[in-house]
Amino acid sequence: MESFPGTFAPVSNRDPDVVVIGSGPNGLVAGCVLAKKGFRVLVVETNRKRPGGALGSEEATESGFVHDVGAAFFPFGKSSPAFQELEIEKHGVQWAHLRYESCHPAPDGSFACISRDTERDFGLFGSPADGERWRKLAAWHRSVEPRLYRLLLGPFPSIAPALALGPLSLLRVAWLFATSARGLSDRFFESEAARRVLPGLGLHVDVGPDDRFGAGLGYMLGLGATTGGYPVPLGGAQRITDALVRILESQGGRLRLGARVTRVAVKGGRAAAVVLDNGEEIPARRAVLADTAARALLLDLVERAHVPSHAVRRMERFEQGWGTFKVDWALSGPVPWKIEAARESAVVHAGDSVDDLSRFTREVRDRKLPARPYLVIGQQSVADPSRAPAGQATLWAYTHVPPDIEGGWAAHRDAFTDAIEARIEELAPGFRSRILARRIVSPVDLQAMDENLVGGDLGGGSNAWNHQLLFRPFFPYFRYRMPVSGLYLCSSYAHPGGGVHGMCGYNAAQIAARDLG
């Protein structure tokens, strides 16, 4: 076993009470919560070099340029109940912000910006009238956010948080969410610059501007940016993983790298052990928690004889989210955006209009490469200069694509990256001249890096309304318990889904602890 820097101990003769499969943020949070409750916890991870899954950092282009391998901005970093309870800041996470959290420019020169200081910056949200409406909506959201997060991020159904939120606020949340992202924007805003913000944020996963009940994700990312913002951890996303590992160890938990689980052994009707690819069997005295894809867990890791036939059929039809195509750049200097505010924004979103975003959605769903890809563009080194050599910069961008395309990704990746760079160049003339090196990550590459990212799906399966709440991952297994006794799903394939908030692991651990007494 190779060790990640730290004090990871080898497996002792005392069998763990709980084995957690996977050391992504949800797996580590689950391990931390159960270790704090007194259970002996072992987290096993396939990667031989580092824990964290898609939550990590590395010098991917040139020496001195630190790039986040997956997640890079953390809207739930400060507001997640899991991270708050575990106090990750006390274990080495330091957050950095820019003046603006998100900028949404278009080639016609129009733009809208989201800021945590809505009283100072509301005038930059498309038009004066739209800025005032945004300021009022942000003020209301700030007043209910802690209770709203407990409602939306806790196990479903969340009765106590719903009562705490109150009937009037519940009705308003239902009114806000019971429409498409385009519908919600049309209700509030008059300018195209303002109207494209929430639909653009919804496209972080596979929710298009016109999707039924699709307003919720854009709302949460947009209004959440006015409170916690889109911070980056100083030094890279790996610092969050490092902090969670330290918390796990401080409570007596252990992490083992280079341990690939090929089977969950079921004995006496319960999950009793995990079997590694070298044949080693690690007993789990009380439970197994899986930070894995739902389909992989129930169709591959657990023998079919132990899974009900209806669950097998449901998993065989399981709907993944869109693929993701990502590029990292090493730059000779910051991006020369035409819109000055974009130079001070943590994230820049490239989408010309709501109709442009709808066109992009149709192309991806028709399994075509988008002609003008919508982009989420991250400027981590502007907020955290330690990510690049002095005077230089990193840049990170992704878009959504079909998980596989005719001819394979190797035949298309360079040309599609050129199309991405052309779209940035349109908004920032001179960008291409600053490129020193680039790394291209296709959906195939993402899945090779982390098996949970099936086909490059970042969200743990589809985020359509019929894959949420009691349908996540599927009914009636929406409260983390799987069809096998003692087996729990704690990944983003469980409620509340994708995003680095740790709440899938947190909720699963709380329920498992209750079951185990």
Residue 176 in tokens: 């806000």
pLDDT band at 206, cuts 50/70/90? confident
Residues 6 or more apart in contact with residue 406 via CB below 8 angstroms: none
Residue 223 in tokens: 């209004």
Set out the domains of the chain in order of their start, with CATH numbers.
18-55+237-319+459-516 (3.50.50.60), 95-233+322-449 (3.90.660)
Residue that the structure tokens 């563009």 belong to: 377
Residues 6 or more apart in contact with residue 234 via CB below 8 angstroms: 94, 95, 96, 384, 386
Tell me what pLDDT residue 492 has.
Answer: 96
Residues 348-367: pLDDT tens digits?
999 999 999 999 999 999 99
CA–CA dist 517, 509 (Å, integer) = 12
10 Å Cβ neighbour count for 369? 17
Sequence-ordered alpha helix ranges (H) in 325-466: 354-365, 380-383, 413-427, 443-449
Positive or negative CA dihedral for 144, 148, 149, 150? positive
Tell me what pLDDT residue 464 has.
Answer: 84
Tell me what pLDDT residue 5 has.
Answer: 37
pLDDT band at 4, cuts 50/70/90? very low
CA–CA dist 330, 393 (Å, integer) = 6
Tell me what pLDDT residue 304 has.
Answer: 94
Residue that the structure tokens 């989420």 belong to: 376
Residue 149 in tokens: 């997060």
Would you say residue 334 has pLDDT above 60?
yes
CA nearest 102: which of 377, 361, 338, 327? 377
Residue 296 in tokens: 């992989």
Q: Which pairs from 243-247 meet CB under 8 Å and 24+ separation?
A: 243/88, 243/91, 243/92, 243/93, 244/25, 244/28, 244/29, 244/32, 244/86, 244/88, 244/91, 244/502, 245/4, 245/6, 245/23, 245/28, 245/51, 246/6, 246/91, 246/92, 247/32, 247/86, 247/88, 247/91
CA–CA dist 319, 347 (Å, integer) = 29
CA–CA dist 516, 486 (Å, integer) = 9
Residues 176-193: pLDDT tens digits?
999 999 999 999 999 999
pTM of the predicted protein model: 0.94
Residues 20-55: pLDDT tens digits?
999 999 999 999 999 999 999 999 999 999 999 999
Please provide the size of the chain in residues. 517
> Which residues lie across from 58 on neighbouring strands?
67
Q: Give yes or no for a contact between 291 and 27, defined as CB atoms under 8 angstroms apart.
A: yes
Query: Mean pLDDT in the chain?
Result: 94
CA–CA dist 124, 23 (Å, integer) = 40
CA–CA dist 367, 424 (Å, integer) = 23
Query: Stretch 471-492: mean pLDDT, rounded?
Result: 95
389: helix, coil or strand? Answer: coil
Tell me what pLDDT residue 144 has.
Answer: 96
CA–CA dist 33, 31 (Å, integer) = 6
Residues 89-146: pLDDT tens digits?
999 999 999 999 999 999 999 999 999 999 999 899 999 999 999 999 999 999 999 9
Secondary structure letter of residue 359 according to DSSP: H
Task: Name the packing angle between helices 128-153 and 167-177 (round to 10°).
Answer: 110
The CA dihedral of 303, 484, 48, 234, to the nearest 10 degrees, is 150
CA–CA dist 514, 517 (Å, integer) = 5
3-state secondary structure 93-126: CCEECCCEEEEEECCCCCEEEECCCHHHHHHHEC
CA nearest 232: which of 80, 390, 67, 397? 67
Residue that the structure tokens 């079997």 belong to: 275
Q: How far is CA 114 from CA 131, 134, 224, 511, in A?
A: 10, 9, 10, 37
pLDDT band at 463, cuts 50/70/90? confident
Residues 243-286: pLDDT tens digits?
999 999 999 999 999 999 999 999 999 999 999 999 999 999 99
